[in-house]
A and B are shown apart, each in its own frame.
Chain A
Amino acid sequence: MSTPSLLLDNVTRVHGSGETAVRALDGVSLEVMPGELVAVMGPSGSGKSTLLNLAGGLDLATSGRVVIEGEDLSTLGAKGVAQLRRRRVGFVFQDYNLIPSLTAAENVSLPLELDGERPGKARRHARQTLDLMGLRELSDRFPDQMSGGQQQRVAIARALIGSRRLVLADEPTGALDSHTGEDVLRVLRERCDEGVAGLLVTHEARHAAWADRVVFLRDGVVVDSTGHASRAEDLLDTAGARR
Chain B
Amino acid sequence: MSVKQGLMALLAQAPMYGAQLRSEFEERTGGTWPLNVGQVYTTLARLERDGLVEPVGEPDAEGRISYRLTDAGKAEVGTWWSTPVDRDNTPRDELTIKLALAVTVPGVDVQAVAQTQRTATLRQLHDLTRLKQDVLRKQRAAESGAAPSEAPAANEGDEAGRDGNHDLAWLLVLENLIFTAEAEVRWLDHVETRLHRESLRPFRRSSAGETAAEATARVEAEETAYRLEDEGQPQTGRAGARR
Q: Count contacts on B: residues with CB < 8 A to the other chain.
A: 36
> Which residues of A, 24-63, contact B by the 8 Å Cβ criterion?
41, 43, 45
Q: How far is the CB of A239 from chain B (nearest CB, A)?
A: 6
- Residues of chain B with a CB closer than 8 A to A241's CB: 30-34
> Which residues of A, 196-243, contact B by the 8 Å Cβ criterion?
203-206, 208-211, 213-214, 216, 223-224, 226-227, 229-232, 235-236, 238-243
Q: Establish whether residues A226 and B126, one from each chain, have CB atoms under 8 Å apart when the complex forms.
A: yes
B127 in the interface (beta carbon within 8 A) = yes
A208, A230, A231, A241 interface centre (most CB from chain B within 10 Å): A241
A211 to B127, CA, bound (A): 10
Q: How far is the CB of B37 from chain A (nearest CB, A)?
A: 14
B186 in the interface (beta carbon within 8 A) = yes
A22 in the interface (beta carbon within 8 A) = yes
A153 in the interface (beta carbon within 8 A) = no
B121, B126, B186 interface centre (most CB from chain A within 10 Å): B126
B10 in the interface (beta carbon within 8 A) = no
Which interface class (under 10, 10 to 19, 20 to 34, 35 or more) fits A? 35 or more
- Residues of chain A with a CB closer than 8 A to B33's CB: 240-241
A211 to B130, CA, bound (A): 10
A209 to B181, CA, bound (A): 10
Q: Establish whether residues B236 and A242, one from each chain, have CB atoms under 8 Å apart when the complex forms.
A: no
A229 to B177, CA, bound (A): 17
A186 in the interface (beta carbon within 8 A) = yes
- CB < 8 Å neighbour of A209 from B31, B115, B126, B240: B126
Q: Establish whether residues A209 and B128, one from each chain, have CB atoms under 8 Å apart when the complex forms.
A: yes
A19 to B32, CA, bound (A): 55
Contact string against B for A residues 147-170, beta-carbon threshold 8 Å, 1 for contact and 0 otherwise: 000000000000000000000000
Q: How far is the CB of A66 from chain B (nearest CB, A)?
A: 23
A20 in the interface (beta carbon within 8 A) = yes
A88 in the interface (beta carbon within 8 A) = no
A65 in the interface (beta carbon within 8 A) = no
Majority DSSP secondary structure for residues of B touching A: helix
- CB < 8 Å neighbour of A232 from B115, B122, B130, B186: B130
- Residues of chain B with a CB closer than 8 A to A231's CB: 127
A224 to B114, CA, bound (A): 12
Q: Establish whether residues A204 and B182, one from each chain, have CB atoms under 8 Å apart when the complex forms.
A: yes
Q: Establish whether residues A19 and B31, one from each chain, have CB atoms under 8 Å apart when the complex forms.
A: no
- Residues of chain B with a CB closer than 8 A to A186's CB: 133, 136
B118 in the interface (beta carbon within 8 A) = yes
29 contacts between A and B (CB under 8 A): A19-B236, A19-B239, A20-B236, A43-B189, A189-B133, A204-B182, A205-B185, A209-B125, A210-B129, A214-B126, A224-B119, A226-B126, A229-B123, A229-B126, A230-B127, A231-B127, A232-B127, A235-B124, A235-B128, A236-B32, A236-B131, A239-B177, A240-B33, A240-B34, A241-B30, A241-B32, A241-B34, A243-B30, A243-B32
